[in-house]
Amino acid sequence: MNPTDTTHQSGHSDVVTHGVRVQAAALFLPDRSSPEQLRYVFAYRVQIANGGDEPVTLRSRRWVITDADGAVEIVEGPGVVGEEPRLEPGQVHTYMSGCPLETCWGTMEGHFVMQRDDGSTFEAKIGRFFLAATVDPLPSQN
């Protein structure tokens, strides 16, 4: 798939790392965007499911946001939206956030640092997904 062909992108990603499933989906927000001022705003939902057999706690995040011009922004920090959720086996945590771009499309990808109770950590991958006005709507939560 040509990443510059944004005629119809799913806008979704779904990756499992060490039993932790991370699903991400984006949605263009035309009412909050101003294309004439090069401001395109997207909402995205992330669902993290612990399919493993031990609890994990989300300690930090790292996003790589790339716009249509190839400009890259790295966003790192503790937790997600002010929280460090602990997920028991079988539990799911979902949150919404947003991302402004200066171009009409871009991509996001990255990882969450997850910590087990024994103190060991691993990076739960967040697969690349598209931010574009032409992506499918956010899927229903499952």
CA separation for the pair 11, 139 (Å, rounded): 10
What CATH homologous superfamily does 12-132 map to? ApaG domain (2.60.40.1470)
Confidence of residue 133 (pLDDT cuts 50, 70, 90): confident
- The pTM for the full model equals 0.87
Confidence of residue 136 (pLDDT cuts 50, 70, 90): low
* Phi and psi angles of residue 37, each rounded to the nearest 5 degrees, phi first: -105, 15
pLDDT 10s digits, 67-110: 999 999 999 999 999 999 999 999 999 999 999 999 999 999 99
CA separation for the pair 37, 35 (Å, rounded): 5
Question: Where do the structural domains in the chain lie, given as residue ranges?
Answer: 12-132
Confidence of residue 134 (pLDDT cuts 50, 70, 90): confident
Q: Mean pLDDT over all residues of the chain?
A: 90
